[in-house]
Amino acid sequence: MISQAELEEFFEGLVARVQSMGGHCAITSGMACVQYGVAQSTKDCDILCSKATLTKLFQVLSNTEFLCAKCSYRGHLTAPIDQRWLRGGWTAHVQWKSPGRDAHLDIFSVAPRATTQWESEMRGLLAGMHTVAELKRTDRAKDWPLADNLGVKLIEAADLRGWLHIHDSDPLRAIKARVPIPREIIELRPVLQLLVDDDPRLKSAVFAEIVFWQQLDRRRLEIHDTAVRPYFGAVKKDVRPAVDLAEQHAIRVSHAEALLPKCPILEYGIDRLISDARRATAEFVIATALEWLPDATRNFAGLEQ
Protein backbone atom coordinates (compact mmCIF):
# COMPACT_ATOMS: atom_id res chain seq x y z
CA MET A 1 0.00 0.00 0.00
CA ILE A 2 1.40 3.35 -1.02
CA SER A 3 1.62 6.01 1.68
CA GLN A 4 -0.04 9.43 1.67
CA ALA A 5 3.39 11.04 1.38
CA GLU A 6 4.20 8.97 -1.71
CA LEU A 7 0.85 9.90 -3.28
CA GLU A 8 1.54 13.59 -2.68
CA GLU A 9 5.01 13.15 -4.17
CA PHE A 10 3.43 11.62 -7.28
CA PHE A 11 1.12 14.60 -7.82
CA GLU A 12 3.88 17.09 -7.06
CA GLY A 13 5.96 15.37 -9.72
CA LEU A 14 3.17 15.79 -12.27
CA VAL A 15 2.88 19.51 -11.61
CA ALA A 16 6.66 19.95 -11.59
CA ARG A 17 6.93 18.31 -15.02
CA VAL A 18 4.27 20.59 -16.47
CA GLN A 19 6.02 23.62 -14.98
CA SER A 20 9.37 22.45 -16.39
CA MET A 21 7.74 22.57 -19.84
CA GLY A 22 6.92 26.23 -19.32
CA GLY A 23 3.33 25.66 -18.22
CA HIS A 24 1.30 27.37 -15.51
CA CYS A 25 0.05 24.64 -13.21
CA ALA A 26 -0.42 24.51 -9.44
CA ILE A 27 -1.77 22.25 -6.70
CA THR A 28 -4.81 23.68 -4.95
CA SER A 29 -7.63 22.79 -2.52
CA GLY A 30 -7.03 19.98 0.00
CA MET A 31 -3.46 19.06 -0.90
CA ALA A 32 -2.45 22.72 -0.88
CA CYS A 33 -4.07 23.04 2.56
CA VAL A 34 -1.89 20.17 3.78
CA GLN A 35 1.22 21.89 2.44
CA TYR A 36 0.18 25.20 4.06
CA GLY A 37 -0.26 23.46 7.40
CA VAL A 38 -4.01 23.92 7.85
CA ALA A 39 -5.03 20.31 7.09
CA GLN A 40 -3.51 16.95 7.98
CA SER A 41 -4.36 14.79 4.97
CA THR A 42 -6.40 14.55 1.79
CA LYS A 43 -7.39 11.66 -0.46
CA ASP A 44 -7.22 13.27 -3.88
CA CYS A 45 -5.51 16.12 -5.67
CA ASP A 46 -6.96 19.21 -7.35
CA ILE A 47 -4.85 21.29 -9.70
CA LEU A 48 -5.22 24.56 -11.56
CA CYS A 49 -3.89 24.53 -15.11
CA SER A 50 -4.02 27.56 -17.38
CA LYS A 51 -5.92 27.15 -20.62
CA ALA A 52 -2.69 27.60 -22.60
CA THR A 53 -1.05 24.79 -20.60
CA LEU A 54 -3.72 22.10 -20.99
CA THR A 55 -2.03 20.53 -24.02
CA LYS A 56 1.19 20.14 -22.02
CA LEU A 57 -0.72 18.68 -19.10
CA PHE A 58 -2.49 16.20 -21.36
CA GLN A 59 0.87 15.08 -22.73
CA VAL A 60 2.22 14.52 -19.20
CA LEU A 61 -0.89 12.63 -18.12
CA SER A 62 -0.77 10.40 -21.19
CA ASN A 63 2.84 9.44 -20.50
CA THR A 64 2.68 9.00 -16.72
CA GLU A 65 1.90 5.75 -14.91
CA PHE A 66 1.06 5.26 -11.24
CA LEU A 67 1.77 1.81 -9.79
CA CYS A 68 1.82 0.46 -13.35
CA ALA A 69 -1.61 1.98 -14.11
CA LYS A 70 -2.20 4.41 -16.99
CA CYS A 71 -4.20 7.60 -16.70
CA SER A 72 -7.86 7.50 -17.76
CA TYR A 73 -10.92 9.72 -17.54
CA ARG A 74 -12.99 9.17 -14.40
CA GLY A 75 -16.73 8.75 -14.87
CA HIS A 76 -19.10 10.10 -17.50
CA LEU A 77 -19.65 13.58 -16.03
CA THR A 78 -16.12 14.83 -16.62
CA ALA A 79 -15.56 17.53 -19.20
CA PRO A 80 -12.74 17.01 -21.73
CA ILE A 81 -9.29 18.34 -20.90
CA ASP A 82 -9.81 21.10 -23.42
CA GLN A 83 -9.61 24.86 -22.96
CA ARG A 84 -12.95 25.39 -24.72
CA TRP A 85 -14.73 23.99 -21.67
CA LEU A 86 -12.29 24.36 -18.78
CA ARG A 87 -11.98 28.13 -19.34
CA GLY A 88 -15.76 28.21 -18.89
CA GLY A 89 -15.64 26.76 -15.39
CA TRP A 90 -15.92 23.02 -16.06
CA THR A 91 -13.72 20.47 -14.29
CA ALA A 92 -11.99 17.44 -15.80
CA HIS A 93 -11.59 14.30 -13.70
CA VAL A 94 -8.94 11.64 -14.30
CA GLN A 95 -7.65 8.64 -12.41
CA TRP A 96 -5.02 5.94 -12.21
CA LYS A 97 -6.69 2.68 -11.12
CA SER A 98 -4.23 0.27 -9.58
CA PRO A 99 -4.52 -2.71 -7.22
CA GLY A 100 -2.48 -0.90 -4.58
CA ARG A 101 -4.32 2.43 -4.53
CA ASP A 102 -6.27 4.59 -6.92
CA ALA A 103 -5.08 8.12 -7.61
CA HIS A 104 -7.71 10.75 -8.46
CA LEU A 105 -6.95 14.13 -10.03
CA ASP A 106 -9.39 17.00 -10.67
CA ILE A 107 -8.35 19.67 -13.17
CA PHE A 108 -9.54 23.28 -13.18
CA SER A 109 -8.52 26.17 -15.40
CA VAL A 110 -10.66 28.71 -13.54
CA ALA A 111 -10.49 28.83 -9.76
CA PRO A 112 -14.04 28.89 -8.31
CA ARG A 113 -14.87 32.15 -6.53
CA ALA A 114 -11.58 33.74 -7.59
CA THR A 115 -11.18 37.52 -7.57
CA THR A 116 -7.74 37.48 -9.19
CA GLN A 117 -5.97 35.52 -11.91
CA TRP A 118 -4.61 32.57 -9.95
CA GLU A 119 -1.42 32.40 -12.06
CA SER A 120 -0.23 35.63 -10.42
CA GLU A 121 -0.64 34.11 -6.94
CA MET A 122 1.35 30.88 -7.41
CA ARG A 123 3.90 29.83 -4.80
CA GLY A 124 6.14 27.18 -6.30
CA LEU A 125 4.04 24.09 -6.95
CA LEU A 126 1.09 25.52 -5.00
CA ALA A 127 -1.70 27.92 -5.75
CA GLY A 128 -1.47 30.96 -3.48
CA MET A 129 -3.16 30.95 -0.08
CA HIS A 130 -5.58 33.67 -1.17
CA THR A 131 -6.70 31.59 -4.16
CA VAL A 132 -7.09 28.45 -2.05
CA ALA A 133 -9.06 30.30 0.64
CA GLU A 134 -11.50 31.65 -1.95
CA LEU A 135 -11.91 28.17 -3.38
CA LYS A 136 -12.78 26.85 0.10
CA ARG A 137 -15.95 28.98 0.40
CA THR A 138 -18.08 25.98 -0.49
CA ASP A 139 -21.35 24.43 0.67
CA ARG A 140 -19.34 21.93 2.75
CA ALA A 141 -19.02 22.78 6.43
CA LYS A 142 -15.60 21.08 6.66
CA ASP A 143 -14.05 23.63 4.27
CA TRP A 144 -14.75 26.75 6.32
CA PRO A 145 -12.20 26.17 9.13
CA LEU A 146 -9.56 25.71 6.41
CA ALA A 147 -10.47 29.08 4.89
CA ASP A 148 -10.38 30.64 8.38
CA ASN A 149 -6.91 29.28 9.08
CA LEU A 150 -5.61 30.37 5.68
CA GLY A 151 -6.95 33.84 6.40
CA VAL A 152 -5.04 33.96 9.69
CA LYS A 153 -1.85 32.81 7.96
CA LEU A 154 -2.23 35.48 5.27
CA ILE A 155 -2.53 38.20 7.92
CA GLU A 156 0.49 36.80 9.75
CA ALA A 157 2.37 37.04 6.44
CA ALA A 158 1.32 40.71 6.13
CA ASP A 159 -1.20 39.97 3.36
CA LEU A 160 -4.24 41.76 4.73
CA ARG A 161 -6.55 40.05 2.25
CA GLY A 162 -6.64 37.45 4.99
CA TRP A 163 -9.40 39.54 6.56
CA LEU A 164 -11.64 38.44 3.69
CA HIS A 165 -11.43 34.78 4.63
CA ILE A 166 -12.03 34.55 8.39
CA HIS A 167 -15.65 33.69 9.15
CA ASP A 168 -15.46 33.07 12.88
CA SER A 169 -16.25 36.11 15.00
CA ASP A 170 -13.92 35.17 17.89
CA PRO A 171 -10.69 35.06 15.81
CA LEU A 172 -11.85 38.20 14.01
CA ARG A 173 -12.10 40.09 17.30
CA ALA A 174 -8.79 38.70 18.57
CA ILE A 175 -6.87 39.73 15.45
CA LYS A 176 -8.54 43.16 15.29
CA ALA A 177 -6.97 43.95 18.65
CA ARG A 178 -3.51 43.87 17.08
CA VAL A 179 -3.92 44.33 13.30
CA PRO A 180 -5.76 47.32 11.83
CA ILE A 181 -8.24 46.68 9.01
CA PRO A 182 -7.59 48.88 5.94
CA ARG A 183 -10.53 50.84 4.53
CA GLU A 184 -10.14 49.16 1.13
CA ILE A 185 -10.57 45.73 2.76
CA ILE A 186 -13.75 46.86 4.54
CA GLU A 187 -15.10 48.05 1.20
CA LEU A 188 -14.62 44.54 -0.16
CA ARG A 189 -16.22 42.94 2.90
CA PRO A 190 -18.71 45.33 4.53
CA VAL A 191 -19.31 43.10 7.56
CA LEU A 192 -15.87 44.11 8.83
CA GLN A 193 -17.27 47.55 9.65
CA LEU A 194 -19.36 45.85 12.33
CA LEU A 195 -16.13 44.38 13.71
CA VAL A 196 -14.46 47.79 13.78
CA ASP A 197 -17.48 49.29 15.54
CA ASP A 198 -17.79 46.42 18.07
CA ASP A 199 -21.34 46.04 16.84
CA PRO A 200 -23.26 43.14 18.44
CA ARG A 201 -24.75 42.28 15.03
CA LEU A 202 -21.37 40.93 13.89
CA LYS A 203 -22.06 37.26 14.65
CA SER A 204 -25.39 37.14 12.79
CA ALA A 205 -23.95 39.06 9.85
CA VAL A 206 -20.97 36.67 9.55
CA PHE A 207 -23.37 33.73 9.70
CA ALA A 208 -25.33 35.31 6.84
CA GLU A 209 -22.12 35.57 4.81
CA ILE A 210 -21.43 31.86 5.25
CA VAL A 211 -24.97 30.93 4.25
CA PHE A 212 -24.72 33.21 1.21
CA TRP A 213 -21.48 31.62 -0.05
CA GLN A 214 -22.93 28.16 0.56
CA GLN A 215 -26.06 29.00 -1.41
CA LEU A 216 -23.98 30.55 -4.20
CA ASP A 217 -21.91 27.38 -4.47
CA ARG A 218 -25.00 25.15 -4.44
CA ARG A 219 -26.68 27.18 -7.17
CA ARG A 220 -23.50 27.13 -9.26
CA LEU A 221 -23.38 23.34 -9.02
CA GLU A 222 -27.06 23.07 -9.89
CA ILE A 223 -26.50 25.10 -13.06
CA HIS A 224 -23.64 22.82 -14.09
CA ASP A 225 -25.63 19.70 -13.21
CA THR A 226 -28.46 20.81 -15.49
CA ALA A 227 -26.13 21.77 -18.33
CA VAL A 228 -24.16 18.49 -18.25
CA ARG A 229 -27.10 16.07 -18.50
CA PRO A 230 -27.31 15.68 -22.31
CA TYR A 231 -23.52 15.28 -22.54
CA PHE A 232 -23.48 12.81 -19.66
CA GLY A 233 -26.15 10.68 -21.31
CA ALA A 234 -24.34 10.62 -24.64
CA VAL A 235 -20.98 9.66 -23.11
CA LYS A 236 -22.59 6.97 -20.98
CA LYS A 237 -24.33 5.41 -23.98
CA ASP A 238 -21.28 5.53 -26.24
CA VAL A 239 -20.05 1.96 -26.66
CA ARG A 240 -16.98 2.68 -28.77
CA PRO A 241 -13.89 0.98 -27.29
CA ALA A 242 -11.56 3.46 -25.64
CA VAL A 243 -8.55 1.94 -23.94
CA ASP A 244 -6.16 4.83 -23.62
CA LEU A 245 -6.60 8.46 -22.57
CA ALA A 246 -6.42 9.81 -26.13
CA GLU A 247 -9.27 7.57 -27.28
CA GLN A 248 -11.39 8.47 -24.27
CA HIS A 249 -10.63 12.11 -24.90
CA ALA A 250 -11.71 11.96 -28.54
CA ILE A 251 -15.07 10.46 -27.54
CA ARG A 252 -15.70 13.14 -24.94
CA VAL A 253 -14.72 15.97 -27.26
CA SER A 254 -17.06 14.70 -29.99
CA HIS A 255 -20.01 14.74 -27.59
CA ALA A 256 -18.98 17.99 -25.90
CA GLU A 257 -18.87 19.82 -29.22
CA ALA A 258 -22.51 18.89 -29.78
CA LEU A 259 -23.95 18.91 -26.28
CA LEU A 260 -21.83 20.63 -23.61
CA PRO A 261 -22.27 24.42 -23.18
CA LYS A 262 -18.94 26.25 -23.00
CA CYS A 263 -19.76 28.35 -19.92
CA PRO A 264 -23.11 27.67 -18.23
CA ILE A 265 -22.55 30.35 -15.58
CA LEU A 266 -22.12 33.18 -18.08
CA GLU A 267 -25.03 31.85 -20.12
CA TYR A 268 -27.21 31.81 -17.01
CA GLY A 269 -25.95 35.23 -15.88
CA ILE A 270 -23.74 36.12 -12.92
CA ASP A 271 -26.15 38.74 -11.59
CA ARG A 272 -29.01 36.25 -11.83
CA LEU A 273 -26.97 33.60 -10.02
CA ILE A 274 -26.12 36.01 -7.21
CA SER A 275 -29.77 37.07 -6.91
CA ASP A 276 -30.75 33.41 -6.59
CA ALA A 277 -28.22 32.95 -3.79
CA ARG A 278 -29.38 36.07 -1.94
CA ARG A 279 -33.02 34.94 -2.08
CA ALA A 280 -32.05 31.51 -0.79
CA THR A 281 -29.99 33.10 1.99
CA ALA A 282 -32.96 35.21 3.07
CA GLU A 283 -34.79 32.02 4.02
CA PHE A 284 -32.20 31.23 6.71
CA VAL A 285 -31.04 34.57 8.19
CA ILE A 286 -32.58 37.70 9.68
CA ALA A 287 -33.45 40.28 7.06
CA THR A 288 -31.16 42.99 8.44
CA ALA A 289 -28.10 40.74 7.95
CA LEU A 290 -28.54 40.78 4.18
CA GLU A 291 -27.35 44.38 3.91
CA TRP A 292 -23.85 43.29 5.00
CA LEU A 293 -23.36 40.68 2.28
CA PRO A 294 -20.37 41.25 -0.03
CA ASP A 295 -20.52 42.07 -3.73
CA ALA A 296 -19.83 38.65 -5.24
CA THR A 297 -19.68 39.84 -8.86
CA ARG A 298 -15.90 40.03 -8.39
CA ASN A 299 -15.68 36.30 -7.64
CA PHE A 300 -15.86 34.98 -11.20
CA ALA A 301 -12.42 36.02 -12.47
CA GLY A 302 -11.21 34.12 -15.50
CA LEU A 303 -14.52 32.75 -16.78
CA GLU A 304 -14.77 32.83 -20.58
CA GLN A 305 -17.18 31.52 -23.17
Strand partners, 25: 49
Give the pLDDT band (50/70/90) at residue 42. confident
What's the domain range around 69? Answer: 4-108
Is 135 within 8 Å of 113 (Cβ atoms)? yes
What CA–CA distance (Å, rounded) separates 142 from 144?
Answer: 6
Q: What is the mean pLDDT of residues 118-128?
A: 97
**Domains: count for the chain:** 1
Percent of the chain at pLDDT > 70 equals: 100
Q: Is the pTM of this model over 0.85?
A: yes
* Residue 222 dihedral angles phi and psi, to the nearest 5°: -65, -40
pLDDT of residue 100: 76
Contacts of 29 (CB under 8 A, 6+ apart): 42, 46, 106, 132, 135, 136
pLDDT of residue 253: 98
Q: What is the mean pLDDT of residues 70-86?
A: 96
When the pLDDT of each residue in the chain is averaged and rounded to a whole number, the result is 96
Q: Say if 65 falls within a structural domain.
A: yes
pLDDT digits over 146-183, tens only?
999 999 999 999 999 999 999 999 999 999 999 999 99
Residues in the chain: 305
Q: Say if 25 falls within a structural domain.
A: yes
Q: Say if 247 falls within a structural domain.
A: no
Q: What is the CATH number of the domain that holds 49?
A: 3.30.460.40
